[in-house]
Homo-oligomer: A and B are copies of this chain.
Amino acid sequence: MLWLRGVSMKLMRVSSPEEVFSLIREQFTALESEKLRLEKAGGRILAKPVYSPENVPDFNRSTVDGYALAARDTFGASEGMPAMLEYSAEILMGQPAPSIQNGQCCLVHTGGMLPPEADAVVMIEDTEAAGSVIQCFRQVAPGENVIHRGEDLKKEGLVLDQGHRLRSSEIGLLASLGIAELEVYRKPLIGLFTSGDELVDYNTRQLDPGKIRDSNAPALSFLAEQKGAEVKYGGILPDDFSTYLEKSRKMLNEVDMLVFTGGSSVGSRDHTAGTMQELGQPGLLVEGISIQPGKPTLLASCNGKPVLGLPGHPVSALNVFALFGGAILERLAGHESFRFTPTVKARLSRNVASRSGRTDYVRIKLDQSGNSINAEPIFGRSGMLRTLAEADGFLVVAAEKEGLNAGEEVEVALWN
């Protein structure tokens, strides 16, 4: 941790991003769970392990269209010397399979049930029917083209562990077991305040001199929703500590996490920090993060609830919320941790300078150029949203690096 002279001329604890991520892991835990219908549970995290109520499949199933038979009846069969089987019946989809005798076979469709005496399926392409005789031009091994009873899942076996995220594949898996209700972690509810006497509602048509529209409220609300949270917007806070504290206290009672933005003036930053100290224990944890953009970020834990103070600059606010707000939300939603960040491999089009000791998040525009992808850094101040709208993603320049050179291969994370 570094001590730097801060905006309000007091000493400020500046933490590295890694320190902040571990603080988040230490201080915050998953919200309570709730029961949800399967079709509403997509994207949520399991709060309890799920065990299988049955064997899957519950019968030996064919994985192809073909003839179900005893594999030994095909041994030695070839194009020149086909095995001859007696056609016995067609197994209808969704119907129990009939029995077969030695040397017999049944027509079976993909997903159909095998007769108890059959242990393999020969694909229809490898056969030819001549009256009631089926010529089989290939030998099949026992178990070939069959999914066995319980092969996918055993009865009472673990299906998905607590902490598993429900993607479309998990929804399908649980549906195939008839599990219609699940215990998942609750969706986090964020209370959002913006502040700054220069701010007016973004629906304001004509601006008075010195005023700007509050773009952070709708931008952060959408970003938070994309990250699986609901947002309750509390409005623009006036530059007055007691109102700040009173409104925050009331909001914190109703939500799982509080987010302030726009401590862009010294006053509101002090109000945010002061409020964090008053709202609950242990209070303020982080007074700055050694990143660019986004250094003047505040983070507190108030009686177990996270309180995040974002910089007022729109680009910084979005960047910090995407990184640290996102990490907090994953914690609250019950994610173990999001370990893998997918990136686009690209070639840097020009040099990027970076101050050592600070992690830089450089906005990048990607362009296809022949077989490779060009990463064009976008320079511009953190107040300029246009630069963010032009960016496809961002590039992280680690604290120990002093910059990157044109032509280097870099990994660009896409910007939501």
* A residues apposed to B, CB below 8 Å: 5, 7, 9, 38-39, 42-43, 54, 56-59, 61, 63, 65, 92-97, 109-113, 124-125, 147, 151-153, 159-160, 164, 167-173, 175-178, 180, 196-200, 202-205, 207-223, 225-226, 239, 264-267, 312-315, 318, 339-345, 366, 368, 373, 381-386, 388-389, 391-393, 411, 413-416
Do A209 and B59 touch across chains, with their CB atoms under 8 A apart? yes
In the complex where A109-B266, A125-B5 touch, is A167 in contact with B42 (Cβ < 8 A)? no
Do A385 and B152 touch across chains, with their CB atoms under 8 A apart? yes
Nearest chain B CB to A40 CB, angstrom units: 10
Nearest chain B CB to A56 CB, angstrom units: 8
Q: Which of A58, A169, A221, A411 has the most CB of B within 10 A?
A: A169
Across the interface, A175 reaches (CB within 8 A) one of B42, B97, B208, B219, namely B219
Across the interface, A93 reaches (CB within 8 A) one of B159, B197, B214, namely B197
Across the interface, A42 reaches (CB within 8 A) one of B59, B113, B225, B413, namely B225
Measured CB to CB, the nearest residue on chain B to A57 is B212
- Give chain B residues whose Cβ lies under 8 Å from the Cβ of A368: 339
Do B94 and A392 touch across chains, with their CB atoms under 8 A apart? no
- Give chain B residues whose Cβ lies under 8 Å from the Cβ of A386: 56, 152-153, 159, 173
Do A176 and B160 touch across chains, with their CB atoms under 8 A apart? no
A-B contact pairs, 27 of them (CB 8 A): A5-B125, A9-B124, A42-B226, A56-B386, A58-B207, A93-B197, A93-B198, A94-B211, A97-B210, A109-B265, A111-B196, A111-B312, A112-B198, A147-B384, A167-B222, A168-B219, A168-B222, A169-B385, A169-B388, A171-B215, A173-B388, A176-B202, A176-B212, A178-B203, A178-B204, A340-B344, A340-B366
Do B219 and A172 touch across chains, with their CB atoms under 8 A apart? yes
- Give chain B residues whose Cβ lies under 8 Å from the Cβ of A96: 209-210
Across the interface, A385 reaches (CB within 8 A) one of B172, B215, B315, namely B172
Q: Which of A205, A312, A383 has the most CB of B within 10 A?
A: A383
A267 to B174, CA, bound (A): 27
- Give chain B residues whose Cβ lies under 8 Å from the Cβ of A209: 58-59, 95-96, 113
Nearest chain B CB to A178 CB, angstrom units: 6
A180 to B92, CA, bound (A): 58
Do A176 and B210 touch across chains, with their CB atoms under 8 A apart? no
In the complex where A42-B226, A202-B180, A210-B113 touch, is A392 in contact with B340 (Cβ < 8 A)? yes
- Give chain B residues whose Cβ lies under 8 Å from the Cβ of A413: 342
A7 to B63, CA, bound (A): 13
- Give chain B residues whose Cβ lies under 8 Å from the Cβ of A196: 93-94, 111
- Give chain B residues whose Cβ lies under 8 Å from the Cβ of A173: 215, 385-386, 388-389
| Nearest 9 CB-CB pairings of A with B | A172-B219, A342-B342, A169-B388, A168-B223, A176-B215, A42-B222, A94-B198, A175-B202, A93-B197
- Give chain B residues whose Cβ lies under 8 Å from the Cβ of A65: 7, 265-266
Do B178 and A213 touch across chains, with their CB atoms under 8 A apart? yes
Do A215 and B266 touch across chains, with their CB atoms under 8 A apart? no
- Give chain B residues whose Cβ lies under 8 Å from the Cβ of A170: 389
A159 to B382, CA, bound (A): 17
In the complex where A207-B54, A381-B63, A384-B147 touch, is A314 in contact with B202 (Cβ < 8 A)? no
Q: Which of A211, A312, A366, A389 has the most CB of B within 10 A?
A: A389
- Give chain B residues whose Cβ lies under 8 Å from the Cβ of A198: 93-94, 111-112
A170 to B218, CA, bound (A): 10
- Give chain B residues whose Cβ lies under 8 Å from the Cβ of A205: 178
- Give chain B residues whose Cβ lies under 8 Å from the Cβ of A264: 109-111
Q: Which of A222, A341, A382 has the most CB of B within 10 A?
A: A222
Do B199 and A314 touch across chains, with their CB atoms under 8 A apart? no
Do A384 and B219 touch across chains, with their CB atoms under 8 A apart? no
Nearest chain B CB to A145 CB, angstrom units: 9
